Structure 1
Amino acid sequence: MSTPPRPAVVPPQPWDFPAARTTCLPNGLTVRLQHLPGQHVISIGLLLDVPLTSEPAGRDGLAQVWAASFTEGTQAHPGTSFADAVEDCGAVMEAGIGYSHVQALVDVPASGLAAALTLLAEAVITPTLTDADIERHGRLEAAHLTQQLATGSGLANAALRRAVVDPSFRASRGRAGWPDDLVGVAGPDVRAWRAATHGPRGAVLVISGEFGEDALALADAAFGSWTNPEQASVHHETPAGRPRAAYLIDRPGSVQADIRWGWFTIDRTDPRWAGLQLATNALGGAYLSRLNKVLREERGFSYGVSLTSAPLRSGGISYAYGSFRTEVVGEALALMPALIDVRQAPITEAELTRARDYLIGTTPLRYATAGGVTSGVLGLLAAGLDTDHIGTQLAAYRATSADQASAAASALLDVDAGSLVVVGDASALEQPLRDAGWDPQVRTADRPW
């Protein structure tokens, strides 16, 4: 039997983010229809312009408990009858929060679009949010967060945000608050917050998939009567960073340590964003990036070491992270600066090409489904951007040189700056951190700040 010929590999075809049909309803709600032929599971997303700065001072966690209680019942479908109605139309519904927004997501077969939109509108506009449901979800969310913070990685992630972002800003604290905050959330608090902040002004409804010509009419029927004259104006903060510091959070007896080395950097509107993305991929975003190649592959210190950027609406956090055996932490920290410092070893053309090919090549894959399109649109709108940013960013990747990527990394990932968080056995780690050039403040895991 003859071997069939190998298929020819052709360059990828030009790609653009799918166009939207956008309409603003009389009540101020924007509706975006992303028609995607062949996508018969419709993805619906509702973005509310409600940043976490809308939570009253000292009441972190209200938004998280609202999101957890989102499908617990409405005036038309109280209690479990709401979940039954969602299931009857074949839908899956959930809510979530970010620092600059809250959102609700629904996936539903095309045949159930009308029913799903009606139920989504009920959950947003006429929820019951009973005291019992709120208090129960407050306790559940507190238990879940406590479980996260009981791990080295969960505690390191929370501590990094505190270490990098000025504590006067909401972005310095976890989205869900702290377990004690969540336990104290009560029904009247959540209902008052929702009534003051949720309304059609600034909200966007996104419907992605293959739907009929009546999709706009269905959206209008579900949401067109939504009003809230008391809807408050929103405040989107512009956070700032903190001075360099090091924190060693003690977990006695731990055989490994979780390391976070972070900088307060930039958001996606900064002209250096493409350069930073290319640089972080080369330095710590790819499997054979500098950090992973040396610290995992050559030294065997860790299962994996990465460098990434997490943009906020304004500013962002870039950080290296990994888990290391306790006995090698000092050596790993001593090696990391040289692996990140592009002043001494600039990004090479080969590294830039690999990073560029990856970032450009994977972009269409993120938007290959209706759910990916809806999530992508919501994420961009929450950041104050629109979908034209995707094409702009792809063009910036193509235009950025190795020198420009190095310049962005040199300015933003300064190895003489940034803050360090290490979670592990302090008795074994304090001196190695000092030997590596850090002067750590030792904290206990139950009171890390």
Structure 2
Amino acid sequence: MEFHPQPEPGEARPWAFPAPERATLDNGLTVLRCHRPGQQVVAVEVLLDSPLDAEPAGLDGVATIMARAFSEGTDKHSAEDFAAELERCGATFDAHADHPGVRLSLEVPVSRLPKALGLLADALRAPAFDDSEVERLVRNRLDEIPHETANPARRAAKELSRRLFPADSRMSRPRQGTEETVEGIDASAVRAFYEKHVRPATATVVVVGDLAATDLDAILADTLGAWTGDTAPARPAPPISADDTGRVVIVDRPGAVQTQLLIGRIGADRHDRVWPAQVLGTYCLGGTLTSRLDRVLREEKGYTYGVRAFGQVLRSTAPSAEGSTGGAAMLAISGSVDTGSTGPALGDLWQVLRTLAADGLTDAERDVAVQNLVGVAPLKYETAAAVASTLAEQVEQGLPDDYQGRLYQRLADTGTVESTAAVVSAFPVDRLVTVLVGDAEQIAEPVRALGIGEVSVVTG
């Protein structure tokens, strides 16, 4: 029997995160373009300087309704016609609002880019904001809220934000609004928010794909370049403050067979020099199936299907002259355990954190984290959409265009000692707010016995 020779691996090719080219249109719109040979589906991201903290008092959620209404008709197309035109282009369109602002996302074959960008420009230039369409979007949003409240993970996230941030901070309240605030939103409120905060001079568009045979300058001039608006100074970002006094909040769900846990505080964002070490240390703690938390809580004890530790930037801005960034990241541990194991699981979790502080990470753990985070980067950024999304995040967070490329080098250069110090600082055992969504009657006393903070119970 003859066998084919085993294939030999080819020579590794150098890879770096692509750097964009910058330009500014006559209307003040900032453009970032990135040519990616072979990417025939072009990804477009538009960032609008309309953050959640700009929403009028009592109208939390108006940014979300505005974002959703961009696809519900323009001065040229009804809502149905707009959707049909997108479909004819083979394009997908989405929009959402978050703390940094509103983001619109478009993906389209490069051959249909002029038409799709024309539709996107119409949506930004002259959205219809029809009364009936806005009313429908408000009703849809109101229908979503009870489902979110019933979801243990969403309920835990809502409670953690409410407990961490001051009541007058927008970050303490649900991103997409509450029933009380959404009910007060109408088309006039959406138009007023649009007119006050949406203009090309404070917006950025990111275009990524195979642009070799495309006159992008001409296309942009004919589409987004026709969008007009006045200029306005950049909005100062309010400072972020949080109370991370160690405590436990139980959201009571009588009869629940599982407890959803979310443990968090705020910490350094991407502008802080500790960020790469914090990323590595957090990954070693709970970023994968081989992390410390999973090794103990899943593999050894069988409490859970998985527990994850992560850092999520809430809002980030470039440092001021005084060195303050006005930004922060949510540092959190999340997962679920069966009700009877809630107390023991939390006890073991705290023991993992204490052991980490006492003994530190190992070189092997650090090496696996670098391999998984840096080694898979070329696969992570195979699509134009992935590159465009990361470039958009850099713009939102006031980071330089080469930040992501330099981050991978910094991750590779970060040692075990630095990673240990960063993760221990990120998750101090006495400065964590713990939210548990579960049966308070069964879990309250075992949790109190742990002594990890004052325990309070709220209705679910």
Whole-angstrom distance in 2 between the partners of 1:348 and 1:310: 25
Q: Once the 2 structures are TM-superposed, how far is the Cα of residue 407 of structure 1 from its aligned partner? A: 0.8
Three-state SS of the structure 2 residue aligned to 1:239 is coil
* Aligned position for 1:220: 221
Match of 2:419 in 1: 405
CA change 1:143–1:97 in 2 (3 A) is same
Give yes or no for the alignment of 1:36 onto 2:36.
yes
**Correspondent of 1:366 among 358, 374, 380:** 380
In structure 2, which of residues 330, 335, 341 is the aligned counterpart of residue 317 of structure 1? 330
Q: In the TM superposition, what are the counterparts of 1:5-154 in structure 2 within 5 Å?
A: 5-9=5-9, 12-154=12-154
Cα drift, residue 75 of structure 1 = 0.5
Alpha-carbon distance change, 224 to 6 in structure 1, aligned in 2, over 3 angstroms: same
Residue 157 of structure 2 is matched in structure 1 by 157
1:114-263 → structure 2 map (5 Å cutoff): 114-211=114-211, 212-229=213-230, 231=232, 233-244=234-245, 245-263=247-265
Change in CA separation of 1:230 and 1:278 when aligned onto 2, cut-off 3 Å = closer
CA distance in 1, matches of 2:7, 2:332: 41
| 1:439 corresponding residue in structure 2 | 454
Contact 1:250 1:444 in 2 (8 A): yes
CA distance in 2, matches of 1:65, 1:121: 19
After superposition, the C-alpha distances for 1:394-416 in whole angstroms (9 at most, x for unaligned) are 12111211111111112221011
In structure 2, what is the Cα distance between the partners aligned to 1:276 and 1:5? 45
In structure 1, C-alpha distance between the alignment counterparts of 2:13 and 2:400, rounded to whole Å: 23
- Given the superposition, is the C-alpha separation of residues 84 and 336 from structure 1 closer, same or farther in structure 2, using an over 3 Å criterion? same
Q: How far apart in 1 are the matches of 2:7 and 2:162?
A: 53
Distance 1:293 1:51 in 2: 39
Query: How far off its partner does 1:265 sit?
Result: 0.8
Q: Deviations over 1:176-210 (max 9, x none)?
A: 12233223211111110011000012211111111
The Cα shift of 1:366 comes to: 2.4
Whichever residue aligns with residue 337 of structure 1, its letter is: W
In structure 2, the CA distance between the partners of 1:367 and 1:237, relative to structure 1 (3 Å rule), is farther
What is the rounded CA distance, in whole Å, between the counterparts of 1:404 and 1:230 in structure 2?
44
Per-residue Cα deviation, 1:23-48 (whole angstroms, up to 9, x for no partner) = 11121101222111111111111111
Q: Counterparts of 1:62 and 1:343 in 2: how far apart (Å)?
A: 44
Cα deviation for residue 10 of structure 1 reads 6.4
Local SS of the residue matching 2:31: strand
CA displacement at 1:298 relative to structure 2? 1.3
- Measured in 1, the distance between the counterparts of 2:171 and 2:5 equals 56
| 1:291 corresponds to | 293
Mapped partners of 2:164, 2:6: distance in 1: 52
1:155 shift after superposition: 0.3
Alignment-mate amino acid for residue 441 of structure 1? S
Note if contact 1:48-1:101 (Cα within 8 Å) is conserved in structure 2. yes
8 Å contact kept, 2:18–2:405: no
**How big is the shift at 1:246?**
1.7
For residues 400 and 12 of structure 1, the distance between their equivalents in structure 2, rounded to whole angstroms, comes to 23
Name the aligned partner's letter for residue 75 of structure 1: D
Contact 2:161-2:173 at 8 Å conserved across structures? yes
Partners of 1:142 and 1:232 in 2: CA distance: 34
CA deviation profile, 1:281-319 (whole Å, cap 9, x unmatched): 111111111111111111111111111111121111111
Alpha-carbon distance change, 238 to 363 in structure 1, aligned in 2, over 3 angstroms: farther
Does the CA contact (< 8 Å) of 1:51 and 1:99 recur in 2? Answer: yes
**What amino acid is aligned across from residue 456 of structure 2 in structure 1?**
Q
Give the TM-score, by structure 1 length: 0.95
Q: Show structure 2 runs of 5+ residues with no match.
A: 317-326
Q: 1:355 aligns with which of 369, 377, 381?
A: 369
Amino acid at match of 1:225: A
Higher deviation after alignment, 209-218 or 278-287: 209-218
SS in 1 for 2:374: helix
Q: CA deviation at 1:354?
A: 0.3
Among residues 384, 394, 400, which one is paired with 2:408 in the alignment?
394
Q: Give TM-score, length-normalised by structure 2.
A: 0.93
- Partner-residue secondary structure (3-state), 2:97: strand
Moved more, 283-292 or 137-146: 137-146
> CA distance change for structure 1 residues 322 and 371 in 2, over 3 Å: closer, same or farther?
same
Task: Please give the per-residue CA displacement for 1:393-445, whole angstroms capped at 9, x wherever unaligned.
Answer: 11211121111111111222101111010011111111011011132111011
CA–CA distance in structure 1, aligned partners of residues 404 and 233 of structure 2: 31
Cα separation, partners in 2 of 1:19 and 1:230, compared to 1, 3 Å: closer
Distance 1:18 1:392, change over 3 A: closer
CA offsets, 1:252-307, max 9 Å, x none? 11111101111211111111111111111111111111111111111111111111
* Structure 1 residues 260 and 49: alpha-carbon distance in aligned structure 2, compared to 1, 3 A threshold: same
What is the one-letter code of the residue matched to 2:202?
G
Identity of aligned residues (%): 33
SS in 2 for 1:224: helix
- Distance in 2, matches of 1:268 and 1:250, equals 35
